[in-house]
Structure 1
Amino acid sequence: MKEENLIKEKSYKFALEIIELYKFLNYELKEFVLGKQLLKSGTSIGANIEEAQAAQSKKDFLAKMSIASKEARETLYWLKLLDDSDYLENYYNKDYLFAEINSIINILTKIVKTLTEEVK
């Protein structure tokens, strides 16, 4: 499936950007708690997508992709929270992060919906 390769690529690049944001939050702003939450969920998206590649069945694949989708939504929550509390005010890549997480959510939603219909 074409979206699966795209989502693997996008989620990996996104995880790298999340790591950069984590460094910024940690070292520049001395913000540790929210940054750690963001790091966990933001890097977990791609990890679950990667794990899905070794799924033993379509149902197993769907389960892993569903977890990735939930992690993506959690990541959006942390990004919004950081932004609304002004931690991202001067972060150079803020717009990219929001655009990318929304794109990732949309792709994962499409994959999960399609697979849900197939598994039924």
Structure 2
Amino acid sequence: MVNNLKERTKIFAHDCVKLSISLPNTFLGNHIKGQLIRSSTSVAANYRATCIAQSKKSFISKISIVIEEVDESHFWIEFIIDEGLIPEETCKSLLNEANQLTKIFISSRKTANLNANN
């Protein structure tokens, strides 16, 4: 499961970068490009850090960052749609993946919190 999620988060980052590159070269487009690239690549990088956390407390802290970054990525993809920069249909699979990853990571954090309290 860990390697699968490492790969999924990396693919998510790549797909968000590709989406970002297709944004218009405007002030808003360039701003969103930077934000989406930063947050989506952070999902992948921070998930890798989570995998080598040295304690439950560290794992919970790192997975919380992953959750924040994937949620931020979701926000920027929604914002792209809201602003009419890219059609919703083009973004649907990325929104779905962001939702799925968020659910997985929240579930992992809940499990870690339960195990940490036992």
Q: Shared fold by TM > 0.5?
A: yes
Shift of residue 34, structure 1, vs aligned partner: 1.2
Distance (whole Å) between structure 2 residues aligned to residue 114 and residue 9 of structure 1? 22
Counterpart position of 2:108: 111
Matched, 1:13 2:15: no
Q: Give the percent of matched residue pairs that are identical in Structure 1 and Structure 2.
A: 29
Q: Distance in 2 between matches of 1:54 and 1:6?
A: 15
Instruction: Report which structure shows greater RCO (CA 8 Å, sep ≥6).
Output: 1
Deviation at 1:77, TM superposition (A): 0.9
Correspondences of 1:21-100 after superposition (within 5 Å) = 21-25=19-23, 29-30=24-25, 31-89=29-87, 93-100=90-97
d(CA) in 2 for partners of 1:93 and 1:71? 21
Distance (whole Å) between structure 2 residues aligned to residue 5 and residue 93 of structure 1: 27
Moved over 2 A (4+): 4-7
The answer to whether the Cα contact below 8 Å between 2:17 and 2:36 also exists between their aligned partners in 1 is: no
**Structure 2 unmatched runs, 5+:** none
So what's the TM-score if we normalise by structure 2?
0.89
C-alpha deviation, 1:19, in angstroms: 1.1
* Equivalenced residues, count: 114
In the alignment, the residues of structure 2 paired with residue 34 and residue 6 of structure 1 have an alpha-carbon distance, to the nearest angstrom, of 28
CA-atom RMSD in angstroms:
1.5
| Residue ranges of structure 1 left out of the alignment (5+ in a row) | none
